[in-house]
Amino acid sequence: MYGPIQKKTKFYAYAKINLSLEILGQLSNGYHEISSLVQTISLADQITFEPEKKIIIDGSITSNIKNDLIYQAAILLKELFGCNFGARITLNKNIPIASGLGGGSSNAAVVLKGLNLLWNLGLKYSDLEEIGSKLGSEVSYFIKGGLMLVENSGEKLHSIKTKFKQWVVVCFPGVTITDKTKIMYSKVSKQQYTKGENTQKLIEAIKFKKPIQHYLFNVFDSIAPLVFEGFPRFFNDIKTISENRFILSGAGPSIFVLSDTFANAKIIEQKIKEKGYWVRVARTL
């Protein structure tokens, strides 16, 4: 029997930015240990759910549906709980693909939450986070979203209980590479390891409403120009538009800048538009 979703219902899959992303070292399993302060923003994909006899994905961003995180999330939930139900899942994409803004992981998290309702599974957020971790550490983050400290290899999550209100101007250069995350992490040297101090100072500054620009940090800021074609020219075109620093989000290549006011954010957006780049104004959620 279907749950609360009985007809076509829309959900929003929000993007994220990394206010900090530090690498502390390498774990015994080969993954890197990170300390990252992650924040969801209002830029979002739209995903609709409808009851259906089988799993149907409309608007998939990959030619091979089995590689689609939306499909993988639906099949995983179906297999874990032996569901005989299906669903028509329709994706309307607004977050650039492979941009460092977490669109794919956010989509998968929303599918888990949407199907939990559609199929009346009665799963709690903690259950969905555990299931999401099988698809990727960022999927677990997006189950709740908000402002979170993400640690270890991404599976350790701590919600930061404070209000953080900022306008965000996000800019995407329109380039990416295959196996981006793997390549970016492979370029990190031990000299670039930190102890998480930027992230901790950033959290304290946010909690006590102090200036945070000095503590914004992404270990990949110095690596992106070496990996993404045309990135140095793109960054040089953008960096002087705002007095605040532009920071890479995730493993890039998107960059963002914070603004205290909507009016100033719109001015920055317009100047970036004039240079021909994809840009959006969003707010923290």
pLDDT per residue as tens digits for the range 107-163: 999 999 999 999 999 999 999 999 999 999 899 999 999 999 999 888 899 999 988
* Residues with Cβ within 8 Å of residue 212, at least 6 apart in sequence: 19, 202, 205, 206, 258
DSSP assignment string, 157-197: EEE--S----EEEEEE-S---TTHHHHHHHT--GGG---SH
Distance CA 151, CA 101 (A): 18
Closest CA relative to residue 185, chosen from 224, 215, 149: 224
Interval 209-220: pLDDT, tens: 999 999 999 999
Residue percentage of the chain with pLDDT more than 90: 86
Buried b or exposed e, range 168-184, using 16+ CB within 10 angstroms: bbbbbbeebbeebbeeb
Average pLDDT score over residue span 248-257: 98
**What pLDDT does residue 1 have?**
47
Predicted model pTM: 0.94
Task: Write down the pLDDT at residue 30.
Answer: 80
pLDDT of residue 241 exceeding 90: yes
pLDDT cut 70: percent of the chain above it? 98
pLDDT band at 50 (very low <50, low <70, confident <90, very high): very high
Per-residue pLDDT tens over the stretch 183-211: 999 999 999 999 999 999 999 999 999 99
Q: Averaged over 91-107, what is the pLDDT?
A: 96
Mean pLDDT calculated for residue range 224-249: 96
Residue 4 predicted with pLDDT over 60: no
DSSP 101: S
pLDDT at residue 60 in the model: 83
Domains in the chain with CATH codes: 9-159 (3.30.230.10), 167-283 (3.30.70.890)
CB atoms within 10 A of CB 189: 8
pLDDT at residue number 64: 80
Residue (of 34, 16, 41) closest to 105 by Cα position: 16
> What is the pLDDT at residue 283?
98
Query: DSSP code of 23?
Result: E
Predicted confidence at residue 6, as pLDDT, reads: 63
Give the per-residue pLDDT at 49: 96
Q: What is the mean pLDDT of the chain?
A: 94
Q: In what order do the strands lie in the sheet with 167-172?
A: 247-248, 255-259, 167-172, 278-283
